[in-house]
Amino acid sequence: GQQLNQSPQSMFIQEGEDVSMNCTSSSIFNTWLWYKQDPGEGPVLLIALYKAGELTSNGRLTAQFGITRKDSFLNISASIPSDVGIYFCAGTTGNTGKLIFGQGTTLQVKP
């Protein structure tokens, strides 16, 4: 079935640094979304992308829907301690609209 390959699996960075993570697939996706999960919570939607090539920002977060529709990236600028958590990419494909998630990127920020 469809799979999303998300990388890196984990990151440990210094406060103030920029972060970049991405998702790739062998299948074409209709939408790409990025979620963040804080410890003990459910994932929360950060950014949703609906068109190939679309570049969208949400504060310090920027995400892009790849031109090939098979990839997406998320950038976080000037990281802060509250950015800690697990970031998931997700996408919908085919006619069912079933949402598929990547494996997640665990981000740790050192103050």
Partner 1 sequence: KAGVTQTPRYLIKTRGQQVTLSCSPISGHRSVSWYQQTPGQGLQFLFEYFSETQRNKGNFPGRFSGRQFSNSRSEMNVSTLELGDSALYLCASSLNPGALNTGELFFGEGSRLTVL
Contact flags string 78-97 toward partner 1, x per CB under 8 A = ----------x-xxx--xxx
Q: How far is the CB of 90 from partner 1 (least distance, A)?
A: 6
Q: Please state, in angstroms and as integers, the Cα–Cα distance from residue 102 to each residue in 17, 35, 59, 81, 97, following that order.
A: 24, 10, 23, 23, 16
Q: Please, which of residues 49-68 interact with partner 1 by CB under 8 A?
A: 50
The DSSP H or E segment spanning 74 is: strand 71-76
Q: Which residue type sits at 98?
A: K
Interface pick for partner 1 out of 48, 52, 60, 77 (rule CB under 8 A): 48
- Rounded to an integer, what distance in angstroms lies between the CA atom of residue 108 and that of residue 52? 30
Residues making contact with partner 1 (CB under 8 A): 1, 31, 33, 40-45, 48, 50, 88, 90-92, 95-104
